[in-house]
Structure 1
Amino acid sequence: MKLSGFDISASALTAQRLRMDVISSNIANAETTRAAYVNGEYVPYRRKEVVMEPVQSNFSDILNGKLDSQGVQVTQIKEDPAPFKQVYNPTSPDADENGMVNMPNVDILKEMVDMISASRSYEANVTAMNASKAMFVKSLEIGRA
């Protein structure tokens, strides 16, 4: 399987778009204290992360020169194992006997940094795709002359 520059950029665009969707979900649920019902009680939303890896290729094909480039793929969306934040709010219906409420393990500042990173990666791949397109158009113009 040989990937062109378009295929590589397209795989990265798809992966970064999914990453932005997951980050948006994290931000939207940063205050959700009842995301799931587990073992008879409600638990807060748990932050999710996107895991990306290079497209798997056959090692013998690489050695034989059949593959000269790879793309990226999302292999999983996993939950962040970090502990929930504890906030004192005795008036909350989710408060325990000490007035503490488990809040999601989402840090808005970290999510915004991740969103900027994903957005910049997306833009870089759009730029690479446009550069490939411009080279194809130029080669067609040269061939016409």
Structure 2
Amino acid sequence: MSMFSIFGISGSAVSAQSQRLNVVASNLANVDAVAGPDGQAYKARQVVFQTVPIGAEKAPGVAVSNITENQAEGRRIYDPSSPMANTEGYVVHSNVNPVEEMVNMISASRSYQNNVEVMNTTKNLLLKTLQLGQ
């Protein structure tokens, strides 16, 4: 493994965390969503990561293997006067927990920053190595 493969590994992690941030943003945007015309409310999504080991067919690093939906029941609020109420008078909201999503966003952001720092440190080490030969 060369020093240059660190850029590929950290780059794949940055890309994966970027996808995670997009999913978190989508979840937060739909935190107060109610059931649509099909009767189904928005379901929170989560990114599932997969490691790609050294020597695999693809470049080593991190990959997003799947984006799953949380199948938990959404919040039900009794409001029979709402046009979105079901036959029992309940309005079904999304199952997104904003506190969990904010923690998830902070975690993804920190992971993103850490991988950028790894790439910057590697670049600086390579530059110092080149300067030794001068």
Percentage identity across aligned positions?
40
Does the residue aligned with 1:43 lie in a helix, a strand or coil?
A: coil
> In structure 1, what residue type is equivalent to 2:51?
P
**Structure 2 unaligned blocks of 5 or more:** none
Encode CA deviations 1:13-33: one digit per residue, 9 max, x unaligned: 000000000000000011222
CA separation in 2, counterparts of 1:124 and 1:77? 23
* Residue identity in the other structure for 1:42: G
Q: Deviations over 1:90-121 (max 9, x none)?
A: 23211123321111000000000000000010
Paired residue type of 2:114: A
The one of 123, 127, 131 aligned to 1:133:
123
Distance 2:23 2:106 in 1: 13
Per the normalisation by structure 1, the TM-score is: 0.82
Query: For 1:96 and 1:47, how far apart are their aligned partners in 2?
Result: 21
Moved more, 9-18 or 83-92: 83-92
Q: Which amino acid aligns with 2:50?
A: E
Which amino acid in the other structure matches residue 64 of structure 2? V
| Counterpart position of 2:88 | 98
Work out which of the residue numbers 52, 55, 59 in structure 1 matches 2:52.
55
> SS of the residue aligned with 2:39?
strand
Q: 1:42 aligns with which of 14, 39, 43?
A: 39
CA–CA separation in structure 1 for the residues paired with 2:87 and 2:132: 77
State the number of aligned residues: 132
| Larger CA deviation: 49-58 vs 76-85 | 49-58
Secondary structure at the aligned position of 1:113 is classed as helix
**TM-score for the superposition, normalised by structure 2:** 0.88
Gaps of 5+ in 1: 62-68
Report if aligned partners of 2:47, 2:64 keep a CA contact under 8 Å in 1: yes
